[in-house]
Structure 1
Amino acid sequence: MKVKVEDFGFREDKGLNYVRYRVSGLDEELTEKLIERLDEDTERDDGDLIITVFYEREYFPFGSEESKVKMADFIAREEIEMMVFLSSVLED
């Protein structure tokens, strides 16, 4: 499984910040399990799973001043954390 942060920002229509992840390298069975078990918005795109997570401003991982200086580090950490989270969802 590979997780990449594809996009992040603020959604006016929801009034929330979001992070959009592209998850690749999953077979159909694992993709279906995640879609069934996740509360987050999910969709399929060319064999990948797209997961969109919405955050209140205070919990948004890219909202701090430090994240703006070290964005690559924050993105990498977010990708690792999501991969660990998804792995734990699949283990249940």
Structure 2
Amino acid sequence: MRRSIAPLLNRIGQFRTTIDDLGIHFLHRVRPRRCHTVILTHGWPGSVAEFTHVIDELADTKDPDASAFHVVVPSLPGFGYSDKSATTG
């Protein structure tokens, strides 16, 4: 039986924004303190689900001396919940 990945994505934080008139879906885990941002991108035919196992460790590291990050994982246009472009380029 396949489990739905939606609860995991919801826990991480799912959002949509518009960039150049194209709706883009992305996961975003925000750190409560100031830190750097890391953007993880998937390839074709992948998805944001490929990164669910590393987002927690990047954002909420168990080592207090390790760097932590705001994590942004966008869905490529035409994948996941991102819109498909009507034109090329």
Does TM, normalized by the shorter one, top 0.5? Answer: no
Which structure is higher in strand share?
A: 1
Larger helix proportion of the pair? 1
| TM-score, normalization by structure 2 | 0.32
Q: Which has the larger radius of gyration?
A: 2
TM-score, structure 1 as length reference: 0.32
